[in-house]
Amino acid sequence: GQQLNQSPQSMFIQEGEDVSMNCTSSSIFNTWLWYKQEPGEGPVLLIALYKAGELTSNGRLTAQFGITRKDSFLNISASIPSDVGIYFCAGHLRQGGKLIFGQGTELSVKP
């Protein structure tokens, strides 16, 4: 089936460092969404991207919808311990359709 390739799988960084993760696909997506999930909780939406080339920020988070519609990245600047969690990219191939998920990036931040 359709897949999103998300990398890296895990990251161990020092507090204050910047973080970058990305997702790529062989298919064209209508929407790119970035979520964060903490243990025992459902995913929480961080950023939603709807147009090719769109660059959106949410506090220390910045994400972009690739111009080819086949990729997206998420950057976190000046990481803090509460950034710890698993980050998922997800995309819609069509409006109202099911989400395709990346495999997740597990982020660990050392104080």
Partner 1 sequence: GAVVSQHPSRVICKSGTSVKIECRSLDFQATTMFWYRQFPKQSLMLMATSNEGSKATYEQGVEKDKFLINHASLTLSTLTVTSAHPEDSSFYICSANHRQGALTDTQYFGPGTRLTVL
Residue 12 lies near partner 1 (rule: CB under 8 A): no
Comparison of 60 and 92: residue with beta carbon closer to partner 1: 92
Which residues face 25 on adjacent strands? none
Half-sphere exposure of 102 (CA within 13 A, CB side): 34
- Binders of partner 1 among residues 43 to 102 (CB under 8 A) are 43-45, 48, 50, 88, 90, 92, 95-96, 98-99, 101-102
Q: Distance of CA 92 to CAs 68, 71, 86, 99, Å?
A: 15, 12, 20, 5
Q: How many residues bind partner 1 (CB under 8 A)?
A: 23
Nearest approach in angstroms of CB 15 to partner 1 is 24
Q: Print burial letters for 46-71: b (CB count within 10 Å at least 16), e (below 16).
A: bbbbeebebebeeeebbbbbbeebbb
Stretch that binds partner 1, among 14-22, 37-45, 52-60, 68-76 (CB under 8 A): 37-45
Nearest approach in angstroms of CB 78 to partner 1 is 27
Residue 7 lies near partner 1 (rule: CB under 8 A): no
